[in-house]
Structure 1
Amino acid sequence: MRIARRIGHWIGGAAGASALLLLGGGPAAADVPIGQPMTGEMTYYDDAGYGACGTPIDASSQYLVAVSYQWWTTANPNNDPLCDGISVQVTYNGQTITVPVEDKCPSCDATHIDLSEPAFTEFAPTGTGVVTGITWQFVNSDGTALH
């Protein structure tokens, strides 16, 4: 897991509190809601090194996403179901992209995602910092919402 350099970071809020109530503090592996749209926010990061899935990443040049620590369900994140073909489909202002889950965001609430820099710039300039009102969902890496 990376120690993130946060850019435009925001913690908490009503969306995060309601998500925590719905999740009961974090989902079990079988409870990752594939295909269930969520409304939240996104920030970006540009770290390089090894992501939570144990593979080399470069968030300054690759399309990927770090999701909240609350979605991870195993002691060793390398073995987590999120690292086994799960992506996040993000929609904002009529544009949609799908990016693989490669990392964990240790300070994000359940509805906050941290996109890699190039993925974030598909939606907004990096100077924006935090983008609210996004819709996102977990999907299989082929983009389908069904198991």
Structure 2
Amino acid sequence: MRVTRNLRITAGVPLAAAALIALGAGTASAAIPVNKPMNGKATYYTDAGYGACGTRINASTQLLVAVSHTWWTTANPNNDPLCRGISVKVTYQGKTLTVPVKDKCPSCDSTHIDLSQPAFARFAPLGQGVINGLTWQFVRTGLAGQAIPLSAPITGSTLSG
């Protein structure tokens, strides 16, 4: 009888932990705080293929951003509000760049963004690897989720500084 009781208690612990994780995930995936500046850091990546929004990306050649998994709110990221005209406006040392959200960063915390290689290079040499102390915010854009090709002209409203 004692073995059965311990087995039930032991089996219940993982189930309780899974329930707490599921409940906690709901609060981590809060509404997108559009126009709310955040202080954080940026790294860069070079993935190519399909981004979390279900469109083809090339982080080596396009200006785009992957944001933390904590901001995604749907089970199917292709249907997530982040994929519908949401961009990230990044400011660092007097320069500002707005790039569309096209991907998810599974290892980023909520204030860490993963810029495409050319977007990162607008702010710092690639050899630096990490930019600390930048400000970024989600913004609504008319880009309709389109990644900006590296060859696209940069206007005063997209890059300044």
One fold, TM greater than 0.5? yes
Aligned with 2:35: secondary structure?
Answer: coil
Instruction: Name the structure, 1 or 2, with higher relative contact order (CA <8 Å, separation 6+).
Output: 1
The alignment status of 1:26 with 2:61, answered yes or no, reads no
Query: What TM-score comes out, normalization by structure 1 length?
Result: 0.78
Distance, in Å, in 2 between the alignment partners of 1:77 and 1:127 is 31
Aligned with 2:62: secondary structure?
Answer: coil
Deviations 1:88-147 (A, max 9, x none): 000000000000000000000000000000000000011001110000000012499xxx
Structure 1: runs of 5+ lacking an equivalent: 1-22
| Alignment-mate amino acid for residue 49 of structure 2 | G
Distance, in Å, in 2 between the alignment partners of 1:122 and 1:92 is 10
The alignment status of 1:91 with 2:91, answered yes or no, reads yes
Shift of 1:83: 0.2
Aligned with 1:120: secondary structure?
Answer: helix
Aligned with 1:127: secondary structure?
Answer: helix
**In the alignment, what sits opposite 2:103?**
103
Structure 2: runs of 5+ lacking an equivalent: 1-24, 144-156
Task: Say how many residue pairs are matched.
Answer: 120
Query: What TM-score comes out, normalization by structure 2 length?
Result: 0.71
Distance, in Å, in 2 between the alignment partners of 1:124 and 1:106 is 23
| Consecutive aligned runs of 4 or more in structure 1 exceeding 4 Å deviation | none
Shift of 1:25: 4.7
Written as runs of structure 1 = structure 2, the 5 A alignment for 1:58-137 is: 58-137=58-137
Shift of 1:26: 1.2
Cα pair 1:85 1:141 within 8 Å, conserved? yes
| Alignment-mate amino acid for residue 131 of structure 1 | I
